[in-house]
Structure 1
């Protein structure tokens, strides 16, 4: 009898889930809609207008703080593209379904409004938006800094040289960690899991574990050297020795000790 009741309950949950999904598919915005605010233009489809309003409000609420934290230079209006499914995101960006967001230069980013209808374990889409916005801020700073060494009047030439410099010099661990930190993406269980792998910064440049532990790198950095060190580290293209006056190995040892003490 208990097994039968459990089966009925499970079937009921499944029916409610699919019925709710069908209703959502018919009631969300089908055509692309535009929502403008002071610093962002949000283009969206496959989500509700109320969702888009949450995105816009949250981005505006974080705009000044993040730009102040990182000492961002003058920033143009930012275009935000929001998708109601990974399939539409993939078609628009060319990225696979495991990716939820991407920045496309300092003034544009794309992301999926994840929920239980399109993801097995959905991320917080508001944090994803802030994460991608922080990538835009980093790029804005890096491009401005690169103008000091890449001297050309040709935009195409500059873009090619900057892309090469960015790929060769700016470490992925820093690129992701700063965005993770500013978005507040941290889970102590994920940190403990990744901590046990004893990954170096170089290894984190090539591992998705950076998303689990990246927050703690910037947490350690700002607690030991203060928040003003972040824009300096970005401007140096992640040069630890030049910015902190210590070897990368010494920085790693300090960070690992911080992890042991706090997580």
Structure 2
């Protein structure tokens, strides 16, 4: 009985300590550049903030030019030193970064699957610019409920591929265990973030193929058509995947297999 009582007291004390830590406010610093305002924990080194601000400012014009739209004039960038603080602020359990509309970026200092914080920042920025492109084509006044319903249909494979490409997160297809002369992932497979997250290693080459085959204008049309390949290119999802795979064979994979 004494052991149980001792355990309950210790457990209650642990819960109390965790609650104090969880609900205690964090000291935050602000740093502003021409297009971005950084809000970050005082535990994060200012040198990292300078690197991130440089990366975002350096890519501001390039990404907006690539996506043919003007980003929000001042974007807030929230950077978290610990995952639990990120989850507490965003409610997002399954990612290391996300956007809040077109004017706010959230991400963790150390993201899953990416060691380069600058690429993480540009990745999330590209999401915000893509969303801005979709909003800009809406008739004003925009019905937010109608737009949200349309946006929910935007395919994950295209959404993530755009940001992977703009952040230059290239992975050589010849190094991927699931990619060879015969095998490649389907678009439905790439739509699953939590089952291997293959879109993060394939996304760069998908956009590379679209630009090669359909050009910049064709790329923008696909985004504005919410990834509808049939309506944009008059092609099925399966045929698109096959053509993309053939592009990869010729450019990357074929050299891996000697004649």
Which TM-score band (shorter chain)? 0.7 to 0.9
**TM-score normalised according to structure 1 size:** 0.77
Aligned partner of residue 187 in structure 1, secondary structure: coil
> Which whole-Å CA distance do the structure 2 matches of 1:190 and 1:88 have between them?
37
Aligned partner of residue 227 in structure 1, secondary structure: helix
Which moves more between the two structures, 253-262 or 125-134?
A: 253-262
> Which whole-Å CA distance do the structure 2 matches of 1:191 and 1:234 have between them?
28
Q: State the partner residue of 1:137.
A: 129
> Which whole-Å CA distance do the structure 2 matches of 1:137 and 1:103 have between them?
10
Count of residue pairs brought into register by the alignment: 221
- Do 2:71 and 2:129's aligned partners in 1 also have CA atoms closer than 8 Å? no
- Do 2:81 and 2:108's aligned partners in 1 also have CA atoms closer than 8 Å? yes
- Do 1:84 and 1:113's aligned partners in 2 also have CA atoms closer than 8 Å? yes
**Mapping for residues 134-173 of structure 1, pairs under 5 Å:** 134-145=126-137, 147-148=138-139, 153=141, 158-168=143-153, 170-173=154-157
Q: State the partner residue of 1:214.
A: 203
Q: State the partner residue of 2:62.
A: 65
Which residue among 101, 107, 132 is the counterpart of 2:97? Answer: 101
User: 1:198 deviation in Å?
Assistant: 2.8
Which residue among 205, 218, 223 is the counterpart of 2:212? Answer: 223
Cα displacement string for residues 10-34 of structure 1 (whole angstroms, at most 9, x for unaligned residues)? xxxxxxxxxxxxxxxxxxxx72111
Q: Is 1:47 paired with 2:39?
A: no
Q: State the partner residue of 1:123.
A: 115
User: 1:162 deviation in Å?
Assistant: 1.4
User: 1:101 deviation in Å?
Assistant: 0.6
> Which whole-Å CA distance do the structure 2 matches of 1:165 and 1:90 have between them?
26
Runs of 5+ unmatched residues, structure 2: 1-25, 254-259
Which residue among 89, 106, 113 is the counterpart of 1:92? Answer: 89
User: 1:192 deviation in Å?
Assistant: 1.8
User: 1:260 deviation in Å?
Assistant: 2.0
Q: State the partner residue of 1:17.
A: none
**TM-score normalised according to structure 2 size:** 0.78
- Do 2:38 and 2:49's aligned partners in 1 also have CA atoms closer than 8 Å? yes
User: 1:122 deviation in Å?
Assistant: 5.0
Provide closer, same or farther for how the CA distance between residues 102 and 190 of structure 1 changes in structure 2, counting only shifts above 3 A: farther
> Which whole-Å CA distance do the structure 2 matches of 1:192 and 1:244 have between them?
28
- Do 1:190 and 1:212's aligned partners in 2 also have CA atoms closer than 8 Å? no
Q: Is 1:34 paired with 2:30?
A: yes
User: 1:195 deviation in Å?
Assistant: 2.2
What do you get for the CA RMSD once the two structures are aligned? 2.1
Runs of 5+ unmatched residues, structure 1: 1-29
Q: State the partner residue of 1:110.
A: 106
User: 1:191 deviation in Å?
Assistant: 5.6
